[in-house]
Amino acid sequence: MRLELQKITKQFPGVLANDRISISVDKGQVLGLLGENGAGKTTLMNILSGLYRPDSGKILIDGKERIFRDPAQAIEAGIGMVHQHFMLVPVFDVTESVVLGNEPTKGPLGSFDRATARAQVVELSKKHGLHVDPDAKIESLPVGVRQRVEILKALYRKSDILVLDEPSAVLTPQETEELFDIIRGLARGGTSVIFITHKLNEVIAVADKITVLRRGAVAGETTPKKATAAKLAEMVVGREVQLTVSRSKSHVAEPILQVKGLNVLNDAGGRAVNDVTFEVRSGEILAVAGVQGNGQTELVEALTGLRLVDSGTVALEKKPLHAGSPREIAMAGVAHIPEDRNRDGMIKGMTVAENYILNTYHLPQYSKNGLLNRKAIAAATEQAVKDFDVRTPSINTDIGSLSGGNQQKVIVAREFSRNVRLVIAAQPTRGLDVGSIEYIHRRIVEQRDAGAAVLIVSTELDEVLALGDRVAVMYEGRIVGILDAKQATRERVGLLMGGITK
């Protein structure tokens, strides 16, 4: 089916989320919808799936206008959504999950016809080349397979238009490749696919047509043949950007961070970090790769004093650190850019200045006799805002009203405002625009060049490969391999991320 959105406009209080957006996808075509967070992709898809109604504009399917009052009507019209966060019941098996909501029935009481359902699922997965065991329990399946179940679910509902929202966020590179094969297969079979992502390489790899959104409007259309990553990045950001950080060779010196036999428990009491040993030396960046949820979060929390160390030792320049409080660790020379900036890194409702001194407010230059020295705080913040190019109306603006990139700049400025021996940066560029990513990467490399040790934890393989002088891969709480930058190819790291060591 051909789907066309015409001049869709959606206004939320204070934001024009969609501004006369027109996109179209033909039968059997893959449309790559590219844009940063906040570009309006999600709003557009919520309109398409019937969650929101547009203020103006039309949705046409095969040339006929359709109005969706709720998601059921969108499904009826053949639009299937695969969300970033899966909507599956862990204890159900694959067959049950796929047919849930449209179960085939038999007998006068309408009881569940399991045999028919299973046969339908098997046939469907054969037809589209989506290999899954129809009897496997969802909770036993890896994430990549769960995604296939979600796709099957959409196909089972006779979706002719499949919308995939950031589908590769939770996948290893190999799984992403398999997903692309599936998408190509579906398109050959006549399904129209809308593939939403912020990753430039992915649209080039899989899309037939690319539409770029920027600030709620269509910034341009192109095809993979005509586009290069650099060109797409420019369309996404609205100006020329440098995609790779230029950095000199590292001058590696003495070890700064030494971790030995570290074990850390998660909130449920399970072992999240399992016997981890590594070191980071002055002047090098160790990048920790891994699919989300393999112990990286707990590792960083343990290193920064936010989580108790179960056993093992952590030393900073030979001094033990594993029993330190967050403040002691910070004052010992550790800069921590937290994984979730909204939760840990800043306080919305407080000003830029207050956030800038969030963990140094107690130092004598900012606080005397129990009183804050507002003049000194303002002066230091003004300087930092200038140095780090934070775009804010004033230092007394609520940090919550800044863009993600500027918020992160405030955090980075704050963490680099102290004497830094070790930088621990967890997902330092998550959700940021390409321009801010470039800037923050450069700042981190600067710290390395100034002699700090840098530990970066990231689930973005591109970031790991771009920054790491060495790359460690975490899988199920263990470090399954540490590679030098030269050996760390996309394939090798990808295999390690999936737990394959041989």
Ordered DSSP codes for 394-425: -TTSBGGGS-HHHHHHHHHHHHTTS--SEEEE
Q: Which stretch binds other proteins (CB under 8 A): 31-39, 238-246, 357-365, 384-392?
A: 357-365
Question: 174 is written with which tokens?
Answer: 């190999």
Report the 10 Å Cβ neighbour count for 247. Answer: 17
Binding residues for other proteins restricted to 168-227, rule: CB under 8 A: none
DSSP 372: E
Q: Give the per-residue contact string, 30-59, with other proteins (x = CB under 8 A; - = no).
A: ---------------------xxx------
Rg (CA), the chain: 25
How remote is the C-alpha of 429 from its chain's centroid? Answer: 9
- With binding defined as CB under 8 A, does residue 339 bind other proteins? no
Q: For other proteins, which is the closer residue by CB, 22 or 359?
A: 359
Q: Of the two residues 353 and 466, which places its CB atom closer to other proteins in the complex?
A: 353
With contacts defined by CB under 8 A, how many residues of the chain interact with other proteins? 32
Q: Judged by CB under 8 A, does residue 70 bind other proteins?
A: yes
Query: Residue 53 CB, nearest distance to other proteins (Å)?
Result: 6
Q: 296, exposed or middle or buried, with CB in 10 Å at 0-12, 13-18, 19+?
A: buried
- Interface with other proteins, residue 73, by CB under 8 A: no
Tell me: does residue 254 bind other proteins (CB under 8 A).
no
Query: In whole angstroms, what is the distance from residue 310 CA to residue 71 CA?
Result: 47
Under rule CB under 8 A, residue 143 binds other proteins: no
350 interacts with other proteins by CB under 8 A: yes
Residue count of the chain, please give it.
Answer: 502
Residue 224, C-beta contacts closer than 8 angstroms, at least 6 positions apart: 32, 203, 204, 205, 207, 208, 210
Residue 133 and residue 471: Cα distance in Å, rounded? 35
> Quick count: other Cβ atoms within 10 Å of Cβ 313?
15
Q: Which is nearer to other proteins, 241 or 331 (CB)?
A: 331
* Residue selected from 41, 281, 336, 409 as contacting other proteins according to rule CB under 8 A: 336
Give the residue, chosen from 283, 345, 428, 498, that forms a contact with other proteins under the rule CB under 8 A.
345
User: Among residues 38 and 54, whose Cβ is nearest to other proteins?
Assistant: 54
- Over the window 358 to 397, marking each residue x when it contacts other proteins by CB under 8 A and - when it does not, the resulting string is xx-xx----x--xxx-x-----------------------
User: Which of 57, 58, 371, 40 lies closest to 218, judged by CA?
Assistant: 40
Q: Which residue in 237, 234, 164 sits closest to 202, CA to CA? A: 164
- Please give the residue ranges that form the binding site for other proteins (CB under 8 A): 51-53, 70, 304-306, 325-328, 330, 336, 338, 343-350, 354, 358-359, 361-362, 367, 370-372, 374
